[in-house]
């Protein structure tokens, strides 16, 4: 009889920085949407606790498997990063699904309005700053 342990759902390996691993665009050049969630006290969990969190994430996102492009769970930083296809309202639906399974999870970065995100990505920094200035001046004047 073999004494091998079953494979872990969470391989704990040191890897390259997230920005080098997470995909930015699909084959047609369209940008993916990303969001990040904080899962408090994740780094204080033992391996079984982290496995349970991974299971909850997988279960809550199962219905979105065709829209999910990349997921990264970083227990040391208590962070969950998810890259998804640009589908309106998808971020909100996914966040709600995760929060049902992990109520303490909080969104720390993400865009819940895909149309706004898409238009911002095409504007250079100067264009975004100019647009903000015009809006601000329009409100005060």
pLDDT in tens, 55-95: 999 999 999 999 999 999 999 999 999 999 999 889 999 99
CA 110 to CA 117: how far, in whole Å? Answer: 9
Element (H, E) at 24: none
pLDDT tens profile 84-108: 999 988 999 999 999 999 999 999 8
Q: Quote the DSSP letter at residue 55.
A: H
Name which of 1-15, 34-48, 87-101 the model is least confident about. Answer: 1-15
Range of the domain at 65: 18-110
CA 49 to CA 31: how far, in whole Å? Answer: 34
Name which of 12-21, 59-68, 114-123, 130-139 the model is least confident about. Answer: 114-123
For residue 117, pLDDT beyond 50:
no
Confirm whether 93 is domain-assigned: yes
Confirm whether 115 is domain-assigned: no
Confirm whether 82 is domain-assigned: yes
Q: What is the CATH number of the domain that holds 62?
A: 3.30.70.100
- What is the number of domains present in the chain? 1
Taking the CA atoms of the chain, what radius of gyration do you get in angstroms? 18
Confirm whether 90 is domain-assigned: yes
Confirm whether 94 is domain-assigned: yes
pLDDT at 94: 95
Confirm whether 84 is domain-assigned: yes
Query: Which of the pair, 13 or 47, is modelled with greater confidence?
Result: 47
State mean pLDDT over 4-17. Answer: 51
For residue 136, pLDDT beyond 60:
yes
Confirm whether 125 is domain-assigned: no
């Amino acid at each position: 009889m073999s004494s091998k342990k079953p494979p872990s759902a969470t391989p704990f390996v040191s890897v390259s920085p997230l920005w080098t691993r997470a995909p930015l665009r699909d084959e047609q050049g369209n940008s993916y949407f990303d969001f990040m969630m904080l899962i408090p006290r994740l780094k204080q969990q033992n391996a079984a606790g982290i496995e349970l969190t991974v299971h909850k994430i997988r279960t809550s996102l199962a219905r979105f498997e065709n829209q999910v492009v990349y997921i990264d769970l970083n227990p040391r930083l208590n962070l969950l990063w998810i890259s998804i296809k640009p589908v309106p309202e998808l971020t909100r639906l996914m966040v709600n699904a995760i929060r049902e399974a992990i109520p303490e999870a909080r969104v720390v970065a993400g865009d819940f309005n895909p149309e706004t995100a898409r238009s911002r990505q095409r504007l250079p920094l100067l264009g975004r700053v100019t647009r903000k200035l015009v809006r601000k001046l329009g409100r005060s004047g």
